[in-house]
Amino acid sequence: MKDQRPGSVSGTELKASEGSTGPPLKTSDVSRRAFLRAGVAGACALCFGGLLAPGQPAQAQSARLGRIGRRRSPWFETLPGSAVRCTLCPKGCTIQAGRRGPCRVRENRDGVGYTLVYGNPALVQLDPVERKPFFHVLPGTRALSVSTAGCPIACQFCEVWDMALVQPDDVHAYDLPPQAIVDHARSTEARSMSFAFGEPVAFFEYMHDTAALCREAGLLNLVHSSGYIAAEPLEALVELIDAVNIDLKSFDPQFYRRYCDAELEPVLQTLRRLHAAGVHIEITNLLIPTLNDDPEQVAEMCRWIRDELGPSVPLHFARFYPLYKLSNLPPTPVSTLDRARAVAHDVGLEYVYVARVTGHEGESTYCPGCGKTIIRRLGFFVEEVALTDGACSQCGTVVPGIWS
């Protein structure tokens, strides 16, 4: 993953497009002092030398350009004339024989629908669960993230466009079927599997089968997604996932259409269903200067979260840095993030965070009952946890999340 944000630690993320080889994978924790010295502005990765191949504990696995994990998918409907309709995302694309959908990873081969990325992650990465970001899930633990090429939407501010918005033929990928990636997660002593960085809906079949094995292995299943998924596949997933962070990119339908090639309402429907299913939800809202940072729109979004999902859903306001097709815009002023956080608090949201501004007070968690700092963070480092059985250690206010 190319991190173009200022101050990022470069060269520490294992992304398959780099195509590097090296010694067997080892955990290499970044010290707090090194973190501060690097001046990280919201992105910190752990450094690894390679990736273990299944059944080869002493040999690193090299990614291969153009590797495609083709597998027949049940998430297609057959149409007349050898066409198929994809049923994974709300677009419901019709794909003619020999063609791929706009997500680039769904293909019609002779009237049969296939996924092209099964077991072929382009990114495998172990880092703090706070980076996902999940602030109310096992603080201070590590999550193994996995992602492939492809995405059903096309955000003009995509941070991983060189993986998500390209053909799977054009990225390096590893050969890691579900059992292999779960075994690898256990070998790293990760507490959770995170389907993140790219869009998990694009590799739904791989995610689903891996999540089922994670459940058996005692690992939590975490998903960071745009939430752009159809109702039926979402139903097949809700019983397997423990926590979801949804990118609510704006509360303006026109913004979604113009800058994401998507619609807002399906994302809201996904959030409603996850809430009804009892899945732990956190929300990230990337504030982009002049495009979605209007205080009234922010307030409208916060009221919807409060009324539809509840005031205790954690909301992360993330700082935008210029990249991809919006490189002409400036970074989000910290004052804009502060204003949005104040608006959210005024509306009644209880857990509101500021992301990608290291050292900001909005990185920490405060008890809505007594105001005590109950989780103190610096970047992705957890410095203090004052919780007792999921409640504030001072006043006993229950804090929603997954704490054990």
Helix (H, G, I), strand (E, B) or coil at 401: coil
36 pLDDT band (50/70/90 cuts)?
Answer: very low
pLDDT value for 17: 34
Which class does domain 124-392 fall in? alpha beta
60 pLDDT band (50/70/90 cuts)?
Answer: low
Helices (H), 170-249: 178-187, 204-217, 231-238
Place of tokens 């009221």: 303
Considering the chain, tell me which residue range(s) the CATH 3.20.20.70 domain(s) occupy.
124-392
Torsion of CA 278, 381, 214, 184, to 10 degrees: 170
For the chain, percent of residues with pLDDT exceeding 90: 84
What Rg value do the Cα atoms of the chain yield, rounded? 20
137 is written with which tokens? 């899930």
pLDDT value for 347: 98
C-alpha 284/C-alpha 262 separation (Å) is 17
Q: Is the pLDDT of residue 323 over 60?
A: yes
Question: The sheet that has 112-115: what strands, in order across it?
Answer: 71-72, 112-115, 106-109
236 pLDDT band (50/70/90 cuts)?
Answer: very high
* Residue 49 CA: distances (Å) to CA of 10, 108, 175, 181: 14, 37, 17, 17
How does the average pLDDT of the chain come out, rounded?
88
